[in-house]
């Protein structure tokens, strides 16, 4: 089994150092359970604003260093997305980090309308992360609306992943849509789905209420955060439950 922690937090636009300090204090005060994986909201250290490029330039590796520092301190692995400038292009990049350093990355494929789509380059490949005895598919926010991108293909009779992770910035009132889509992704892919969303107002003036939750492979909500409140949600994901469902109802092939 694995226990995951989802950090639903406010994010001050562009204030990387302040946001990181706030996460450190939040973890000290509110992380009461032992977890093997901690997942932060999309653009966890800077949020969204009118100029993601300036956020990327100002970051200077602090967000990635924070993810590794947390992994070392709490003996877990961490996940979060960061605006990254590479060879002149800007990406919304997810990092999967262990205490030893980055394990995997994923560049967001489905960029949201407007500024993100105008500023960023979309990724073209999914990333399956095999770690902690599980296989994960980490995706980002707007990706949740594209079921073909999260399809759990079978390779030699074995599903590609056991848990689908979405790190998100879904604004009010669409957090309800986020939860409905996440439940659907769990059912159609016979996998756990964990989604972590932010609260507060971003740099574009959009309000966020949260909607952080974990779903079992039949789309039942296992755990959730209160709306409009900073909170760490934890849930334990047993592999035997997943194996039993897939055996009873082998819809994945």
pLDDT the model gives residue 114:
82
**Residue 253: pLDDT band by 50, 70, 90 thresholds?**
low
Catalytic site residue 46?
Answer: no
Active-site residue (options: 46, 76, 120, 141): 141
Question: Which carries the bigger pLDDT value, residue 57 or residue 172?
Answer: 172
Distance, CA of 38 to CA of 74 (rounded, Å):
9
- Please write down the HEC assignment for all residues of 170-214: CCCCCHHHHHHHHHHHHHHHCCEEEEECCEEECCCCCEEECCCEE
Provide the whole-model pTM: 0.96
Q: Is 116 a catalytic residue?
A: no
Per-residue pLDDT of 207-248, as tens digits, reads 999 999 999 999 999 999 999 999 999 999 999 999 898 989
For 188, left (φ over 0), alpha (ψ -120 to 50), or beta? alpha
Whole-number mean pLDDT of the chain? 95
Least Cα distance to 237 among 186, 188, 180 occurs for: 186
Helices 16-30 and 62-74: crossing angle in degrees, nearest 10, is 10
| Residue 42 bears catalytic tag | yes
d(CA 129, CA 134) in angstroms, rounded, equals: 8
Which residue in the list 46, 76, 77, 108 is annotated as catalytic?
Answer: 108
pLDDT, tens digit, 9 for 90 and up, residues 171-200: 998 999 999 999 999 999 999 999 999 999
């Amino acid at each position: 089994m694995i226990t995951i922690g989802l950090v639903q937090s406010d994010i001050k636009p562009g204030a990387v150092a302040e946001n990181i300090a706030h996460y450190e204090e939040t973890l000290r005060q509110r992380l009461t359970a032992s977890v093997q994986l901690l997942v932060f909201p999309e653009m966890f250290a800077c949020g969204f604003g009118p100029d993601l490029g300036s956020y990327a330039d100002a970051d200077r590796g602090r967000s990635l260093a924070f993810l590794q520092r947390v992994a070392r301190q709490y003996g877990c692995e961490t996940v979060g997305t960061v605006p990254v400038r590479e060879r002149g292009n800007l990406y919304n990049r997810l990092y999967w980090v262990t205490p030893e350093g980055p394990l995997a990355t994923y560049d967001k494929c489905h960029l949201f309308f407007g500024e993100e789509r105008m500023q960023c380059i979309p990724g073209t490949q999914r990333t399956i992360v095999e770690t902690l005895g599980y296989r994960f598919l980490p995706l980002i926010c707007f990706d949740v609306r594209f079921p073909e991108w999260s399809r759990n293909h079978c390779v030699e009779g074995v599903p590609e992943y056991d848990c689908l992770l979405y790190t998100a910035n879904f604004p009010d009132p669409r957090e309800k849509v986020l939860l409905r889509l996440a439940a659907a992704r769990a059912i159609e892919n016979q996998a756990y789905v964990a989604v972590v969303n932010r609260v507060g107002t971003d740099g574009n003036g959009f309000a966020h209420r949260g909607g952080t939750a974990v779903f079992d492979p039949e789309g039942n909500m296992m755990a959730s955060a209160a709306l409009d409140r900073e909170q760490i949600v934890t849930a334990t994901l047993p592999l035997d439950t997943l194996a039993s469902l897939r055996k009873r109802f082998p819809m994945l092939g």
